[in-house]
Structure 1
Amino acid sequence: MKNCIVAQSGGPTVAINASLSGVIEKAYTSGSYDHIYGSLHGILGILNNDIICFDDKLEDETFLQALATTPAMYLGSCRYKLPKMADDIELYEKIFAFFEANDITGFFYIGGNDSMDTVLQLSTYAKLHEKSVTIMGVPKTIDNDLCLTDHTPGFGSAAKYIATTLQEIAYDTSIYPLPSVTIVEIMGRDAGWLTGAATLARTDYGLGPDLIYLPETAFDTERFLEDVKEIMQKKPNVLIAISEGIRDKDGKYISASTKTLDSFGHSQLSGAGKTLETLIAHRLGIKVRSIELNLPQRCAAHLSSLTDIEESKELGRIAVAHALKGASGYMSIIRRESNQPYRVSYDIADISLIANEVRSVPRDFINASGNNVTEKMAEYLRPIIVGQPSLTYENGMPVYLPLPHLYPSL
C-alpha cells in the first residue's frame, strides 16, 4: 500500500485550493497512490489523527474544478510552529508513526514561509532517520515573499483585487472639490509586493494612488507630510497606499505592538493607516480617512486571476511529479522566462534555501524618494493578474464547496 497526504497551513489565499486540486489531481492520475488523504488544520490534523479521504470525492468529475475556485482553505489551517528536533524528538516520532500506520509515502504541505519551515524540519528528520516518506512543499502566500520562485500562488489574485479596489476608491474620492486625503493600508509586514500592486490602478482610463510606501525603504513622517502637501498643491484629493509594515530608519514599525507576539515571534501590527490618519489630522488639519483592506485581500475569489489559478494548480502537480521521482525536502517553484509574451517554466528548489528567508522588493522597483514604485514593478505585475476563472452562480451568488471541517457529513 502506498498512500499520500496533503495539508494546508498559514493564511488563506484564493488560489491555495487550486494548488490543493493540482496535488490531488496528479496524485490520482499518476496511479501511484492507493489513497489520497487530507489533514485537517495543517500539521495538527496529523498530530490529532483528524483526516479525510478524497477517494469518494474524486468520483465526482466536477469536484476538482469547483475546488480550484473555492476561496480560503478547503482543509482548514493552523499556525503551528514545529519545535526543533532536539527540543521535542517525540513529536517527530509521533508524526512519522502516523505516516507508518497509514502507509503514507508522500506528504505535501501547502503554505508560506513558516509552513516551509515545517517542510524543512520534517524532511531533515526523514533523511536523518532514513524514513521512506517524501516531504514536499507547495508555495502559497499573498505576500509574495518566498525566495527562489518568481512569484507565489495567491499573490496574483490579491494584486488584482488591490489594484481594482484602489482604482474604485480613486474614482470615489475624486468627485469632491474639497481637500481630502485617503490612506489605504495593505497587507505586507516585511515585503511590499502587495502594496506595489496598487500601481496597476494607474491605467489609461482609470485613476490610482498618488503615493506608495513600502517597508523596504525607511519611512520618515516629516518627509511624508511634505509629500502630501506637495501633491495637494496640484490636486485637492490625495490617495495613498501604504504597507502595514512601514518602518522608520531604525527599523521600528510605526504601528507595532511590542507587547503582543504571534506563535512565530512576529510583532502584531495594527493601525499603520490609522496612525498616519491621526498625524495628518493633527498636523495638516484637513479631512482624512484611512481604510484597511484586511481580509478581502486574500479571500476575494470573485476577483481572482485565471493566470494565478492555473499556475497554482501546476505547482501542486509539479510537487507530486517530483516526489514520485524520489525528491524530498524541496518546494515547487515558478521561473519567468519572459514578460512579452508571458512565459514561465516550473521546477523545484531546495527547501533549506527558502524556509525562514524573506524575498524583498528589489530597490530598482522603488523610486529614489521611496514614495512610489517604478515601471519595473508594473511590468512584473501585469502578466500575473490576467484572466478571470469561470465561476458557477446560483441566485446571484457564487457557489463554493462546503468546508469539511465545518460540514463533515458532506
Structure 2
Amino acid sequence: MEKLTGACIIGQSGGPTAVINASAQGVIQTALKADCITRVLGAAHGIKGVLEDKLYDMSQEDPAELDLLQYTPSSALGSCRYKLADPDVDDTDYKRILEIFEKYNVRYFFYNGGNDSMDTCNKISKYMQKVGYECRVMGIPKTIDNDLNGTDHCPGFASAAKYIATSCMEVWHDAHVYDTGMVTVVEIMGRHAGWLAGSAALATWAGCGPDLIYLPEVDFDMDQFINDVVSIYNKTGKCMVAVSEGIHYADGRFVSEAETSATDGFGHAQLGGLAVKLADIIKSKTGAKVRGIELSLLQRCGS
C-alpha cells in the first residue's frame, strides 16, 4: 500500500463512554509523532464538525492535557448522531467532506464509534474511492453493546458491564433486606446484542444477582416468562430478573411498550418502559409486590 503524506482528522460519534477518550488519545498522540502526517485535526461533534469546517488543531494542545484524556470520561471532542445519506441518492454531504479533505490535504480519517459510525466510515471510504481521492479511512471501535463485527471486544463494554453487575448486586441486597415477597425486573441496554444483559450474570456468579436473564438473541415468550418468574417466586419468595431492552417476540416485535415513541438520528427505535410493563404484567398475574428498574444511560456513563 502506497504511503500517503497529509493531514489527519479524528472524530468521535455516538454515545460517550468512560473510556472513549483513551482511544482518541492514542490516535492523536501517535499521529502527532508520525512523519507522514503533517497536521492533526480534531472534528468538533463528529462528522458534523467536518461538514461545518469546525476543526481543532491538536498540535496546539498542551501535551499534559492530552495525557489526561486517558482518564477522562465522555467525548472530549464532542459527539453526534448524524446519518449520512446513501451517496447514490444524495451526495451533498460527501461533496462537502471531499471539499474539506482537499482544503486541508486530509489523507487519514479516523472515526471513533459503534456500528453506525462504522457505517459512516464505509460510506466515506467508498465515495473517496469512487471519485479517486486517496485517503485512508479507519474506524476505531467503541460501543458498550460489544457487537462490532471483526472485534473480540469493544472499549466501553467492560466499564458498562462492571456498572451493570455492581448495580444488580446492590439492587439484590436492597430487595433481600425485607421479609416480604418481592419481584424485581431490571431493564438493561441492548437492542440486538445481549452482552450487557448477560453481564448481569457476573452478579449472580458472586451470589447476589438475577435469577433469570433474557437476551434479544432468543425469542421472548411471555407465558414462559411468567411461569419462570412465578416458579422461582413461589419457592423463595423473591425473584430478580434482568431483561435486555431489545427482547422481542418470535415475529420480531419488541416487547417494549415504548418502541415507537421516538427514533434516534439513525432511525433506530428508542426503546424504554420494558421493566415497568413486565412488572405490571407480573403483578396482575401474581398479586406480588413488583418493581421495575431501568438503569438507563447510566450504564454507558458508569465506570
Scaled by the length of structure 2, the TM-score of the pair is 0.94
Give the partner amino acid of 1:126: M
In the alignment, the residues of structure 2 paired with residue 88 and residue 10 of structure 1 have an alpha-carbon distance, to the nearest angstrom, of: 22
Q: Matched residue of 2:95: which SS?
A: helix
Greater RCO structure (CA 8 Å; 6+ sep): 1
Whether 1:210 aligns to 2:247 is: no
In the alignment, the residues of structure 1 paired with residue 263 and residue 14 of structure 2 have an alpha-carbon distance, to the nearest angstrom, of: 16
Q: Partner of 1:159 in structure 2? A: 161
Whether 1:49 aligns to 2:50 is: no
Give the partner amino acid of 2:284: H
Scaled by the length of structure 1, the TM-score of the pair is 0.70
In the alignment, the residues of structure 1 paired with residue 210 and residue 280 of structure 2 have an alpha-carbon distance, to the nearest angstrom, of: 20
Aligned-residue CA RMSD (Å) = 1.5
In the alignment, the residues of structure 2 paired with residue 150 and residue 187 of structure 1 have an alpha-carbon distance, to the nearest angstrom, of: 20
Residue correspondence of structure 1 range 4-403 to structure 2 within 5 A: 4-57=8-61, 59-60=62-63, 62-204=64-206, 206-255=207-256, 256-258=258-260, 260-300=262-302, 303=303
- Tell which deviates more after alignment, 279-288 or 84-93: 84-93
Q: After superposition, what is the alpha-carbon deviation per residue over 1:205-260, rounded to whole angstroms, capped at 9, x for unaligned?
A: x4111010011111111111111111113312211100001111211101143363
**Residue pair 2:204, 2:211 contacting (<8 A) in 1 also:** no
Where structure 1 has 5 or more consecutive residues not aligned to the other structure, the ranges are 304-410
The Cα of 1:28 is off from its aligned counterpart by 1.6
Give the partner amino acid of 1:97: E
Q: After superposition, what is the alpha-carbon deviation per residue over 1:23-63, rounded to whole angstroms, capped at 9, x for unaligned?
A: 11211222332321111111000111111111121x43x32
Q: Matched residue of 2:83: which SS?
A: coil
In the alignment, the residues of structure 2 paired with residue 66 and residue 235 of structure 1 have an alpha-carbon distance, to the nearest angstrom, of: 49
Q: Partner of 1:364 in structure 2? A: none
In the alignment, the residues of structure 2 paired with residue 282 and residue 71 of structure 1 have an alpha-carbon distance, to the nearest angstrom, of: 42
Q: After superposition, what is the alpha-carbon deviation per residue over 1:64-110, rounded to whole angstroms, capped at 9, x for unaligned?
A: 33112211111111111111111222321211110111121111001
Q: Matched residue of 2:162: which SS?
A: helix
Q: Matched residue of 1:3: which SS?
A: strand
Aligned pair in 2 of structure 1 residues 123, 33: CA closer, same or farther (>3 Å)? same
Q: Matched residue of 1:94: which SS?
A: helix
* Identical residues among aligned pairs (%): 48
Give the count of matched residue pairs. Answer: 298
In the alignment, the residues of structure 1 paired with residue 32 and residue 262 of structure 2 have an alpha-carbon distance, to the nearest angstrom, of: 44
Aligned pair in 2 of structure 1 residues 174, 259: CA closer, same or farther (>3 Å)? closer
**Residue pair 1:142, 1:158 contacting (<8 A) in 2 also:** yes
Q: Partner of 1:314 in structure 2? A: none
